[in-house]
Amino acid sequence: MAKILMPKATAVWLIDNTGLTFDQIADFCELHPLEVKGIADGDVAENMRGADPVASGELTREEIQKGEGDSSYRLKLPAPKHATVPQPKRKGARFTPVSRRKDRPDAIAWFVRNHPEVTDAQISKLIGTTKSTIESVRSRTHWNSANLKAVDPVTLGLCSQIELDAVVSKAAAKRAKEQGSKAERPSGPTLRKVAPAPVQPEPAAETADDEDDNRREVTAEEVFANFKGGSDED
C-alpha cells in the first residue's frame, strides 16, 4: 500500500510544479523512475490531473526546498499533527462468531466440571455467553444437555490460552483468599471462661509437742489415792 493517497496524480503535480528529480519523485510516490519519466513524457497517466501533496498535508514546502537543493535527498512525510487515538477498552461480553456460538455450552460444561471456582460473570465475559445459559448448563436444564461434552474454550477457539490462564489464576487466588479468611474466624460459639476454684488450705498436721501439751500429767499421790479409795470400799 502506498504511503500517499494518489501516487501518480502526486507525481504529475511534482513534475509540473517542482524541480525535483525523477528519482526523488519516484521514491516519494513509490513508483518506478521509468514510470515517472513516462508521466513526464506524457506516455503514462495522460490527461491526469495533478494532486497537490502540500494542500493534502502529505508534504511541506520546506521538504520540497530541501529536495530541490540536494538531488540525493529523499523526501519524507511530515509528522502527524494528531497523536494516534488509543483504542477504547472493550467492555461487555466478547463477540463470538455465529459458527462458534454452538460450541459455547460445551465450554461452559468444561468450566463447571474442572473449574467451579470461576464465576458466571468471568465465564460470560471470556466466551461471550449469558448467565442464564450458564445456569441452564449447570442445572442440566439446557435443551441439549444430553449431547454436551466438556471441551476447553481454547480448543473450541473461543479464547486464547493466555486469557484462559489469567481467568483461572484470578479465580483460584480469590478462592484461596476467601478460604484463608474463613479459617481465621471461629466456626462456632465459644465457651465462656470459668474462674479457677479457690484452693482450700490443708489442715496443719499436729506435732509431737502439741500432743504432749494435750496430755495431763498424773502425780503419784493421785495414783495411790485411787488404790486407797478402792480398799475402803471393800
The string of pLDDT tens digits covering residues 24-78 is: 999 999 899 999 999 888 888 778 888 999 988 888 999 999 999 999 999 998 8
pLDDT at 187 over 80: no
Confidence of residue 209 (pLDDT cuts 50, 70, 90): low
Burial of residue 148, with CB atoms counted within 10 A of its CB: 0-12 exposed, 13-18 middle, 19 or more buried: middle
What distance in Å separates the CA atoms of residue 14 and residue 63, rounded to the nearest whole number?
12
**What integer best gives the mean pLDDT of the chain?**
79
Confidence of residue 98 (pLDDT cuts 50, 70, 90): low
In eight-state DSSP terms, residue 3 is S
Question: 10 Å Cβ neighbour count for 131?
Answer: 12
* pTM, to two decimals: 0.41
Burial of residue 175, with CB atoms counted within 10 A of its CB: 0-12 exposed, 13-18 middle, 19 or more buried: middle
pLDDT at 214 over 60: no
Give residues with Cβ within 8 angstroms of 25, minimum separation 6. Answer: 11, 14, 15, 31, 36
Find the length of the chain: 234
- Check residues 86 and 142 and name the one with the higher pLDDT: 142
Given this model, what pLDDT does residue 233 score?
Answer: 47
The percent of residues above 90 in pLDDT, for the chain, comes to 32
Q: What are phi and psi of 157, to 5 degrees?
A: 80, 20
Greatest mean pLDDT range, 97-106, 186-195, 224-233? 97-106
**pLDDT per position as a tens digit, 117-160:** 999 999 988 988 889 999 999 999 988 888 888 999 988 888 88
Give residues with Cβ within 8 angstroms of 100, minimum separation 6. Answer: 156, 157, 158
Given this model, what pLDDT does residue 106 score?
Answer: 92
Cell numbers 513526464 correspond to 40
The number of C-alpha atoms within 13 Å of 59 and in the hemisphere containing its C-beta is 26
Cell numbers placing 150: 466438556
Confidence of residue 93 (pLDDT cuts 50, 70, 90): low
Given this model, what pLDDT does residue 64 score?
Answer: 92
